[in-house]
Amino acid sequence: MVVGVGARTGVRAEEVLAAVDAVLPPRSGPVRLATLDTRAAEPGLREAAASRGWPLSGHPAAALVTVPVPTPSDRVAAAVGTASVAEAAALLTGGRLLVAKTVHGRVTVAVAEDADQPHLDADPDHPDADPDHPDTDRDHDVDLRHHGDVEATEGLVDLAVNVRAGTPPAWLRTVLHDAVDASAAYPDPRAARAAVAAAHGRPEAEVLLTAGAAETFTLLARALRPRRAVVVHPSFTEPEAALRAAGHAVERVLLAPPSYRLGDVPTDADLVVLGNPTNPTSVLHAAADVAALARPGRVLVVDEAFADTAPGEPESLAGRTDLPGLLVVRSLTKTWGLAGLRVGYALGPADLVAALAAQQPHWPVSAPALAALVACTTPAARAEAEAAAVALEADRAALLAALPPGVEVVGTPRASFVLLRVPGAARVRAQLRDRGWAVRRGDTFPGLSADHLRVAVRDPDTSRAFATALAEILVTGPQRRDPHPRPPGTAPTPDETS
């Protein structure tokens, strides 16, 4: 369904939602909102769309005026040029009008079939007709905003979040404490920007300092107006969530197990997002394969939040200035244990960096976060990170060696976590929790199933203890409650012993 929306300036999200809910037929299937381009930036409209995960598109008055509408209004025609924003926007794709425009206070809505998704039910071979096929807009099928932190509750050994254990190191905590002590002043980003630029051999204008890698995805969603945005999955879900929250339609390219090798990306995609190494598969794509996706007219976003977990960062594109539209996203969260500080950066062409910076609030990165950027880009800190990456390889090998039979390692892990396929993983995860272990569920990643679990690499003793718990659970099988428990001390019946 397309819901065409006309709204007054300052309209609130609840008004929009009440109007849409009043006219949407039951079991409407996927919904998207369409409106005038100048209205698409209206905060209430964006908030309404984001809260339901509905794509929101804005269309120029020049396009809307060409659409004949059944319920024209002279007043609207005089103000906007089209005789009904709601009906013209709903009918723009050429579908049938299902609900003519109705006015709900400051909001006018009309509903039409989405001619871009014409035969969902009629054509069983159409990929959109398959509810398990996750690469379309209608597949708001998973909670993109679920992350491992909600699984790592207090008292459990945390294998759900991939932050390096034992971090931040003492010297970094001292840096942070000193920065907090000096926090009366507003943050000055110059030293941090210079440090990051020097570490990657790039001009300062190509460095964007951010409150964590996640901020970059929101900035991209706000700054860009992609015609065809593609996110390569399975991968970290925030880029897609941020794009959708800003009203952009997102297409998913699903990589196939077990290699998760980079596949075909639509040639006309003007925004492509992928991770390297990829969370949750731990697969490290060859730099040449990733670089081959860059082209003029496209923004290629490579999330390298885990790049420094691979010794030597062999496939990083952070230093590449020759690739058009390449934006590399980095984070201090994982290696330095700074998830709560919110600190990262992005590297890309100066004009793109400037466009993203224009979307940031003033003073976006705190003084302690800036101090961390300076401290973690020194040669000594980089050597420490490299040593941690080397040690991680041995720790990962110990984890893989300890895993019990029946557990499949999916993909070739190259980062600080491994992706496992365990039949009945939902039950296994629950039983692991009972025994004190938190692992990350897989089924909230597009392309993975309820049989997937992601497990962080820890020291070998921890990994072996985890593997023992996992083996016991797999041997025991499902633990069912006996519906007819025998009182203690009574003899088993013949049936029970047979």
Ligand X SMILES: Cc1ncc(COP(=O)(O)O)c(C=O)c1O
CA distance 20 to 358: 33
- Binding residues with ligand X: total (CB under 6 A): 13
Of 262 and 467, the one with the shorter C-beta distance to ligand X is: 262
Distances (CA, A) of 100 to 4, 15, 83, 118, 149: 10, 18, 13, 19, 45
> Taking contact as CB under 6 A, which single stretch among the options 44-52, 116-124, 283-291, 299-307 is the one that binds ligand X?
299-307
Of 278 and 462, the one with the shorter C-beta distance to ligand X is: 278
Of 332 and 432, the one with the shorter C-beta distance to ligand X is: 332
Of 97 and 213, the one with the shorter C-beta distance to ligand X is: 213
Least distance between ligand X and beta carbon 237 (Å): 9
**Contact call for residues 98 and 113 (beta carbons, < 8 A):** yes
Q: Which of 303, 313, 315, 395 binds ligand X (CB under 6 A)?
A: 303
Residue nearest to ligand X (CB): 212
Q: How would you list the strands of the sheet with 408-409, edge to edge?
A: 157-159, 437-441, 452-456, 417-421, 408-409
Of 241 and 470, the one with the shorter C-beta distance to ligand X is: 241
Least distance between ligand X and beta carbon 402 (Å): 24
- Which amino acid, one-letter code, is at 269? A
**Contact call for residues 32 and 55 (beta carbons, < 8 A):** yes
5 sits near ligand X (criterion: CB under 6 A): no
Least distance between ligand X and beta carbon 249 (Å): 22
Of 417 and 466, the one with the shorter C-beta distance to ligand X is: 417
Least distance between ligand X and beta carbon 31 (Å): 29
Two tokens, residue 240 = 């897609």
Q: Which of 236, 260, 336, 437 binds ligand X (CB under 6 A)?
A: 236
Of 89 and 214, the one with the shorter C-beta distance to ligand X is: 214
Of 331 and 431, the one with the shorter C-beta distance to ligand X is: 331
Of 1 and 232, the one with the shorter C-beta distance to ligand X is: 232
DSSP code per residue over 64-87: HTTS--SS--HHHHHHHSSS-HHH
Restricted to residues 319-348, the positions that interact with ligand X (CB under 6 A) are 331, 333, 339, 344
Restricted to residues 407-446, the positions that interact with ligand X (CB under 6 A) are none
By C-alpha distance, which of 437, 412, 429, 428 is closest to 478? 428
260 sits near ligand X (criterion: CB under 6 A): no
* Cis omega (within 30 of 0) for bond into 296: no
The secondary element (H helix, E strand) that includes residue 179 is helix 170-181
- Which amino acid, one-letter code, is at 444? T
By C-alpha distance, which of 429, 439, 407, 421 is closest to 478? 429
Least distance between ligand X and beta carbon 375 (Å): 16
408-409 and 417-421 strand pairing? antiparallel
Residues facing 36 on adjacent strands: 59
CA distance 446 to 235: 8
The secondary element (H helix, E strand) that includes residue 305 is none
305 sits near ligand X (criterion: CB under 6 A): yes
Least distance between ligand X and beta carbon 227 (Å): 25
Restricted to residues 195-234, the positions that interact with ligand X (CB under 6 A) are 212-214
Q: Which residues contact 247 (CB under 8 A, 6 or more apart)?
A: 33, 40, 46, 49, 50, 55, 56, 57, 58
Least distance between ligand X and beta carbon 268 (Å): 26
Least distance between ligand X and beta carbon 354 (Å): 21
Q: Binding string to ligand X for residues 380 to 409, with x set by CB under 6 A, is what?
A: ------------------------------
Least distance between ligand X and beta carbon 48 (Å): 26
By C-alpha distance, which of 274, 284, 382 is closest to 328? 274
Least distance between ligand X and beta carbon 306 (Å): 6
For ligand X, the binding residues (CB under 6 A) are 212-214, 236, 275, 279, 303, 305-306, 331, 333, 339, 344
